[in-house]
Amino acid sequence: MIALDILADPVCPFCLIGYERLRRALAERPGHPFQLAWHPFQLNPSMPREGMARADYLQAKFGQDGAVKMHQQLLEIAASDALPLDPLKVLRQPNTLDALRLVYWAGLEEKATAVMEGVMAAHWYEGRDIGDPRELVRIAQAAGLDGTMIGRLLASDADCDTIASRDAHARERGITAVPTFIVANTHAITGAQPKELWLKVIDELSGAPSDAILN
């Protein structure tokens, strides 16, 4: 298998879009060589732990015109990609530390992809507050994790330092934005690339040794 490391933050819409395009490519190539692994990269590490109203966040970061343009862009992409993404459903801008802790714990049980899918869908498709531990417990349980254990972990500071150090390590490696996909620990693919690019990558790498380097 070839490692495909994905650096992402669930509140990044292009992480959702980029992953969905990758997922569809993988579905079309069931014999693909990739082994997916998720890694944290907080876009807003200074966000208050309780989060804030998304309208206030967008106004502060993009201004009114910028927020409207971004919403329009996301709606156009959602329509073209047949995604049930509606940014107007998102009323809270959460701190994603707990969501990223959950994805990390899920990875220990080989359920990280299912949990990340659940977290992104909850935020972007359903408008749920993924900064709320109760919502994260529900997502964990839906992926087959022990909800009681996850609830206890979320109530503690367990692995906060782990997420911070892994985030810092990514930045030290030169990662500045997400999504970033790293193939075989050597080649970085950034942004929400089209499904066709992933199909080409998969076809080029199929049958290649695990240390293959993408040219």
Q: Domain for residue 212, yes or no?
A: no
What's residue 35's pLDDT? 97
Residue 18 sits in a domain whose CATH number is: 3.40.30.10
Q: Which residues of the chain have pLDDT under 50?
A: 208-215
- Answer whether residue 147 is part of any domain: yes
Where on the phi/psi map is residue 127: left (φ > 0), alpha (ψ -120 to 50), or beta? left
pLDDT at 149: 98
Which residues form the domain of 110? 2-205
Say if residues 47 and 93 touch (Cβ distance below 8 Å). Answer: yes
User: What is residue 206's predicted lDDT score, i.e. its pLDDT?
Assistant: 86
Residue linked to tokens 């500071």: 157
**Stated pTM of the model:** 0.93
Does residue 108 lie within any of the structural domains? Answer: yes
Question: Buried b / exposed e across 57-94, counting CB within 10 Å, b at 16+?
Answer: bbeeeeeeeebeeebeebeebbeeeebebebeebebbb
CA 207 to chain centre: 28
Does residue 211 lie within any of the structural domains?
Answer: no
Counting the structural domains of the chain, the total is: 1
Q: Is residue 210 part of a domain?
A: no
24 falls within a domain: yes
With respect to residue 67, please indicate whether it lies within any of the assigned structural domains.
yes
Position 211 scores a pLDDT of 43
Confidence at residue 178, expressed as pLDDT on a 0 to 100 scale:
97
Determine the pLDDT at residue 143: 98
- List the one residue out of 95, 176, 106, 94 whose CA is nearest residue 137: 106
Residue 113 lies in a domain: yes
